[in-house]
Amino acid sequence: MVRIRPLDDRVVIEVLEAEETTAGGIVIPDTAKEKPQRGRVLAVGPGKMLRSGKRAPVHVRSGDEVLFGKYAGTDVRVEGDEIKVLHENEILAKIGS
């Protein structure tokens, strides 16, 4: 996978694809799919620098599955892989533990 180190409170996310079928088994065409809002954390920065000179801890870790806003972050293509880089505060929730 991509070797990238985010700075400050930024997080690198691998976007997980949206469902291709509904619960009832109907196949959703590509043109009707919504933009994915779920991803897996690949890398986490060291945390935001506070005025005191210390770093604020980041509350997600590599491997966490997260939800984020539809238009959050910046989409980047690195070595053929599509990733998303966003600030920690753009993450809405962690999925699971």
Q: What is the pTM of this model?
A: 0.77
User: Which fold, 10-17+27-95?
Assistant: 10 Kd Chaperonin, Protein Cpn10; Chain O (2.30.33)
Each domain of the chain, given as residue ranges in start order, spans: 10-17+27-95
Q: What is the pLDDT of residue 34?
A: 61
**pLDDT tens digits, one per residue of 46-96:** 999 999 999 999 999 999 999 998 888 999 988 888 899 999 999 999 988
SS3 (DSSP) at 91: strand
* Contact assessment for residue 83 and residue 13, using Cβ atoms and an 8 Å cutoff: yes
Locate 85 and state its tokens.
């880089």
* Contact assessment for residue 19 and residue 39, using Cβ atoms and an 8 Å cutoff: no
